[in-house]
Copies of this chain bind each other. A is one copy, B any other.
Amino acid sequence: MNAEILAVGTELLMGQIVNTNAQYISDKLNSIGINVYFHSVVGDNPKRLEESIKLALERSDLVVMTGGLGPTKDDITKEIASLVLKKKLVLHEDSYKRLKDFFSNLNREMTENNVKQAYLPVDGIVIPNNKGTAPGCIIEEKGKVTVILPGPPYEMRPMFDEVVLPYLQEKSNFKIVSKYIRTFWIGESKLEAILMDLIDNQDRVTIATYAKSGEVTIRLTCKSKTIDEGLKEIKPFEDEIIKRLGDSVYSTENEELEEVVAKLLIDNNLTISIAESCTGGLISSKLTSVSGISHVFDRGIISYSNNSKIENLGVDQSTINKYGAVSRQTAIEMADGIRKTSGCHFGLSVTGIAGPEGGSDQKPVGLVYLALSHDKETICKELNLFGDRERIRNAAVLHAFDLIRRQIGGIVIG
């Protein structure tokens, strides 16, 4: 079974929003052995939408449509899909009732244009929307499956997970099993050179690499009858690649760096506090995005001003005067200071120049110091990052997590 994801919405073509739905649905479809061959996006234009639906139904067995189910006049997905599929739209009583309840629960008035959201293609399987006003549906016709879902990800995701995915799983008779090996700070072409012979000789287990801001992920994929069989086929390749890449590998479970770090801390009951300057809270906010982190994360200090570095972290005024706020010495005092005042096992600090302003010849934009304090030692790392403010901040965050991972890994293992 091969699939196409067709998003509808002029706001996507205007560049106002990003099509994250396509990513979400693709990931899920692949996980149950459905190949996604195409993503398409088309605007709220009846003729082009009609053509796009027709094309999708020609070249794909499954068409998942998102967006254009709102109450407004430019929401035309159901109308055009029902035209192409020759399925009349009829009022769905249960959806109409849910719609009325939705508004009364919110203490909001239901406006008249909302009613059209309860009209659905006849004979379809209706997918209730627990988070919003637009129900979705599944229509099966001549061996092709069309799924219609609302655009807002928060509404779409549970509808997809709870109704569409189980429905499709029933139809699939094999699995695509993938393992992801994630690495940090190794170039994609260098990595591929290291793995060249494996890539050249790939057969049932395919090997693909892709890069994203300092990270390269290696995907190993195998089609098999069961997940266990697939994993067994992948295992020798996985082991060999991990052996070759050594400690550049930070996850074999497709986790983000912050998840790996959070897990290391939580599993080993190691507490941490974080002092940030140029990253402005980004490290702490990423780390605290992981549920359960409150057991080990004590506090974060975003010491933007020198006063804060002195008052909250105990950095010496003379250190700042002598070496500057962006210096190895200040980074070390920040890390030591937050560790001691918080009483944690680890204190992490970062100070740097994210730009675009604030750089100089001696200390250019992109200069960042990271320090990690532990009662045995405090290590400090100088980074020379490039790019704009956002990129420098994000790279500093990744390097900070990588530093913690390597250090704690060493302490836990050593």
Contacts and interface: CB of A to CB of B under 8 A. Distances in A.
A29, A281, A284, A342: which has the most chain B beta carbons within 10 Å?
A281
Interface string A1-34: 0000001011111111111101111111110000
A111 interface: yes
Given A18-B19, A188-B72, A189-B133, A291 B26 contact: no
A140 interface: no
A20 B22 CA distance: 11
Chain A facing B: main interface SS: mixed
Contacts of A43: 37
Contact of A17 (B48, B111, B212, B312): B212
Interface stretch (A80-88, A241-249, A386-394, A404-412): A386-394
Contacts of A293: 280
Interface stretch (A230-238, A296-304, A315-323, A374-382): A296-304
A34 to B, nearest CB: 11
A101 interface: no
A108 B190 contact: yes
Interface in A283-331: 283-285, 287-289, 291-294, 297-305, 307-308, 311-312
A111 B193 contact: yes
A209 B40 contact: no
Given A15-B28, A111-B192, A294-B305, 8 more contacts: A37-B43, A38-B40, A38-B52, A72-B188, A154-B387, A280-B287, A288-B304, A301-B302
Q: What 7 A-B pairs have minimum CB-CB distances, sorted nearest first? A: A280-B288, A15-B27, A281-B281, A300-B302, A15-B26, A281-B284, A39-B41
